A and B are shown apart, each in its own frame.
Chain A
Amino acid sequence: MRLFLQYASSGVATGCTFALVATGFVTIYRVTRVVNFAQGAFAVIGGMTAFTLLGHGLPHFVAEALAVITAGLVGLLVGAVAIGKRGTPPLASLIITLGIGIGAYAALILVFGDQPVSFEGLRGAATIGGVTMPFQFLLVVVVTAATFAALTVFFNRTYMGKALTACSSNPHAARLVGIGITRMGLVSFALGGALGGLAGVLLTPLQPVSFDSDVGLAINGFAAAVFGGILRPATALVGALVLGVAEALVAGYWRASFQSGVALVIMLALMVWQASRRQLLEEGPA
């Protein structure tokens, strides 16, 4: 039982980082209908920027905050390329973001080198009922919870949040009431970038990040986002926690090399199941 709780708690922590990547997907998809393949790269950029800034002697928190802002700015740039040209269909935007994701490898190797990096997060651990909980795990959970609360308030209570939601539910009506669709799309890309950066900053102390870690992160984040049809952050959070715990249990009890395979199979099964439920309702180009 204690072993189970140990695995589960580490699963919750990694699940939270998946959740942050997933909300990045959700935020961008809600507004632009683009699935951003470069989402994993934002996390890598966040983690590596924080590592470099800490190496230059910046204090914790400042370095992490700057890293998140950097990732947000990169997100804005990606958005400008992917949706800046009017009339780019979402599937073309998808391939564009894929291209940016590959191109980002080149930039990441040039700027940060091709070795995996990691930095020390919170030190120490609490022992609760025989289960060791590193403080970094707790930090990840708390930050994720706070981020989700803030996002919920943002989307439901603020003007900007409502404008973003309006773009996704009815672009034409949104334009009629004077909302700039492209500008809102760029805002969503910046927000998605920052969320990805936050995931990277929190994840890097838990597991080393290298320039090509983005595929794994993006796959897990997308899998989590799929739980809610890439539209609902709260369902994505549930999905991410399920994935994180399932992977930790597979790695703990069975074999570490199977964990990503299990996540992928879960994602495929879920997508197919959801598609078969929705097919009758949603005809036309997806």
Chain B
Amino acid sequence: MSWLRDRSAGFWVTVGAGLATLLLPIALNDEQLTVFIFIGLATVVVAGLSLLMGFAGQISLGQGAFYAIGAYTAALLAKDAGLPPLLAMAVATAATAGVAVVVGLPLFRLRGHYLAFATLAFQLIVVSVVGEVRSLTGGDTGLTAIPSLSVGPLAVEGQYRAFVFAYIAWVLAVAVLLLNRNLVRSRPGRALRALATSEAGALAAGVDVGRFKLQVFALSAAYAGLAGGVYAFFVGYIAPGSFPILLSIQFLIMATVGGLGSVSGSVVGAAMVYLLIQVLTRLGTLPGMPLHAPAVFSYAVYGLVLVLILLLLPQGLIPAVQARLGAARAVSAVEASAAEAA
């Protein structure tokens, strides 16, 4: 068991947080479970976006489009084509990554703000196309009666529906976070980190910059597609209105709050922003509040959080805390060695 002793404090914090997260659904009621599920799904999307922004240095304002593509593909395959839901979800994830490659090939010639606008435009196009192809997608009225997830004859229905979905969402979230963590530490991960520091430097060191960026883009899209598929099966109803531009911006805010490129930041950012919005919506719907109060609250908070984080903690919450802790640890180590020398 010597490997257990060698682990850092961070390892135990992560394991503790993971266990707590997996035990949490037992204590939650259905309404709270829904929030819990949405946070898990947002974590999956944000993990991809954080990787894309933190390592490939590219802004995407179109993750909502991939969420939508995943949701519609999974729903249509399961409902109209009669595929088993799990298979439909897997196909939808792969298809979303495929779309990202096709779209990314031309778009990744763009950088910075051009790419930001291009991905925004991409989402607007996707949503309007979905609204136009009425025969397939039901147009603006949307798709209803999407079957729930099932394995063979066992369907996720009834009393424990939300409970099971909570585990599905969070097992996926944990899997995606582990994948990110291992990816960052692997050989391609080193190339990615080189890319994040200096694109020209990475290029000079023999990293195929264009291919890596495209792959990260496809991976982030696959995450979003996967989460979208689960969303469709859980909610059972999707329409173009389920995927507004604001959804993409919400993912961007979560990634920025958690810290770009930070693995644990994805889940912290997703949870904090989502819970904040929940609390504000509660406040906004209290009796005596004007009808537009929830909207005003959430817009104001989105704006404020984004501006404040970028001005005060540009590297994000988790990296900032880690830097603080790291600095404290370094100081105490120096003091300890100084005491030893004396």
Q: Hey, which bits of chain A sit against chain B, CB under 8 A?
A: 35, 81, 85, 88, 90-92, 94-96, 98-107, 109-110, 113-114, 215, 219, 222, 226, 257-258, 260-261, 264-265, 267-268, 271-272, 275-276, 279, 283-286
- Give B120-162 as 1s and 0s: 1 = Cβ < 8 Å from A's Cβ atoms: 1110110011011000000000000000000000000000000
**A106: shortest Cβ distance to chain B, in Å?**
4
Contacts A272-B109, A276-B109, A279-B109; A99 near B117 (Cβ below 8 A): no
Question: How many angstroms from the CA of A105 to the CA of B121 in the assembled complex?
Answer: 20
**CB distance B114 to A271 under 8 Å?**
yes
**CB distance B200 to A96 under 8 Å?**
no
Stretch at the interface among B22-30, B77-85, B299-307: B299-307
Contacts A219-B121, A284-B200; A96 near B116 (Cβ below 8 A): no
Question: How many angstroms from the CA of A222 to the CA of B115 in the assembled complex?
Answer: 12
Question: How many angstroms from the CA of A258 to the CA of B133 in the assembled complex?
Answer: 12
B112 at the interface (CB under 8 A from A): yes
Q: Which residues of B contact A102 (CB under 8 A)?
A: 246, 249, 299, 302-303, 306
Query: Which residue of chain A has the shortest Cβ distance to B249 in the bound complex?
Result: A102
**CB distance B302 to A103 under 8 Å?**
yes
**CB distance B311 to A85 under 8 Å?**
yes
Q: Which of A90, A92, A99, A219 lies in contact with B303, CB distance below 8 A?
A: A99
**A117: shortest Cβ distance to chain B, in Å?**
15
**CB distance B310 to A106 under 8 Å?**
no
B107 at the interface (CB under 8 A from A): yes
**CB distance B112 to A95 under 8 Å?**
no
Q: Which of B132, B296, B307 lies in contact with A96, CB distance below 8 A?
A: B307
Q: Which residues of B contact A104 (CB under 8 A)?
A: 303
Closest 10 CB pairs of A and B: A103-B303, A99-B306, A106-B300, A35-B113, A106-B299, A105-B299, A286-B111, A286-B112, A275-B109, A264-B121
Q: Which residues of A contact B295 (CB under 8 A)?
A: 105-106, 109, 114
**CB distance A219 to B310 under 8 Å?**
no
B118 at the interface (CB under 8 A from A): yes
Q: Which residues of B contact A279 (CB under 8 A)?
A: 109
**B181: shortest Cβ distance to chain A, in Å?**
25
**A267: shortest Cβ distance to chain B, in Å?**
6
- Give B264-303 as 1s and 0s: 1 = Cβ < 8 Å from A's Cβ atoms: 0000000000000000000000000000100111011011
Which size class do B's interface residues fall under? 35 or more
Question: How many angstroms from the CA of A215 to the CA of B113 in the assembled complex?
Answer: 15
Question: How many angstroms from the CA of A96 to the CA of B308 in the assembled complex?
Answer: 8
Q: Which residues of A contact B120 (CB under 8 A)?
A: 219
Question: How many angstroms from the CA of A121 to the CA of B303 in the assembled complex?
Answer: 33
Majority-rule SS of A interface residues:
helix
Q: Which of B107, B117, B311 lies in contact with A35, CB distance below 8 A?
A: B117
Query: Which residue of chain A has the shortest Cβ distance to B132 in the bound complex?
Result: A257
**CB distance A98 to B300 under 8 Å?**
no
**CB distance B109 to A268 under 8 Å?**
no
Query: Which residue of chain A has the shortest Cβ distance to B128 in the bound complex?
Result: A261
Interface centre among A85, A106, A222 (most CB of B within 10 A): A106
Query: Which residue of chain A has the shortest Cβ distance to B105 in the bound complex?
Result: A272
Contacts A98-B306, A215-B245, A257-B128; A272 near B110 (Cβ below 8 A): yes
Question: How many angstroms from the CA of A264 to the CA of B296 in the assembled complex?
Answer: 29
Question: How many angstroms from the CA of A100 to the CA of B300 in the assembled complex?
Answer: 9
Q: Which residues of A contact B116 (CB under 8 A)?
A: 35, 94
Question: How many angstroms from the CA of A106 to the CA of B306 in the assembled complex?
Answer: 14
Question: How many angstroms from the CA of A285 to the CA of B115 in the assembled complex?
Answer: 13
Q: Which of A91, A99, A109 lies in contact with B296, CB distance below 8 A?
A: A109
Query: Which residue of chain A has the shortest Cβ distance to B61 in the bound complex?
Result: A98
Interface centre among B112, B245, B249, B310 (most CB of A within 10 A): B310
Query: 12 additional contacts, CB 8 Å, given A103-B304, A275-B111, A286-B112?
Result: A35-B117, A88-B314, A91-B112, A99-B306, A106-B296, A109-B299, A114-B295, A226-B114, A257-B128, A258-B132, A261-B128, A272-B110
**A275: shortest Cβ distance to chain B, in Å?**
4
Query: Which residue of chain B has the shortest Cβ distance to A35 in the bound complex?
Result: B113
**CB distance B117 to A103 under 8 Å?**
no
Q: Which of A110, A114, A268, A276 lies in contact with B121, CB distance below 8 A?
A: A268
11 A/B residue pairs, CB under 8 Å, sorted by A = A85-B311, A91-B113, A96-B306, A102-B303, A103-B304, A106-B300, A109-B296, A219-B121, A222-B117, A268-B121, A286-B112
**CB distance B124 to A271 under 8 Å?**
no
**A280: shortest Cβ distance to chain B, in Å?**
12
Question: How many angstroms from the CA of A97 to the CA of B306 in the assembled complex?
Answer: 9
Q: Which residues of B contact A271 (CB under 8 A)?
A: 110, 114, 117-118
Interface centre among B59, B125, B246, B307 (most CB of A within 10 A): B307
Q: Which of B59, B107, B297, B305 lies in contact with A91, CB distance below 8 A?
A: B59
Query: Which residue of chain B has the shortest Cβ distance to A84 in the bound complex?
Result: B311
Contacts A279-B109, A286-B111; A99 near B307 (Cβ below 8 A): yes
**CB distance A260 to B302 under 8 Å?**
no
Question: How many angstroms from the CA of A92 to the CA of B120 in the assembled complex?
Answer: 17
Query: Which residue of chain A has the shortest Cβ distance to B124 in the bound complex?
Result: A264
Question: How many angstroms from the CA of A85 to the CA of B113 in the assembled complex?
Answer: 20
**CB distance B299 to A103 under 8 Å?**
yes
Q: Which residues of B contact A222 (CB under 8 A)?
A: 117
**CB distance B118 to A268 under 8 Å?**
yes
B256 at the interface (CB under 8 A from A): yes
Question: How many angstroms from the CA of A284 to the CA of B57 in the assembled complex?
Answer: 12
Contacts A257-B128, A286-B111; A267 near B306 (Cβ below 8 A): no
Q: Which residues of B contact A105 (CB under 8 A)?
A: 295-296, 299, 303
Contacts A99-B310, A286-B112; A109 near B292 (Cβ below 8 A): yes
Q: Which residues of A contact B114 (CB under 8 A)?
A: 226, 271, 275, 286
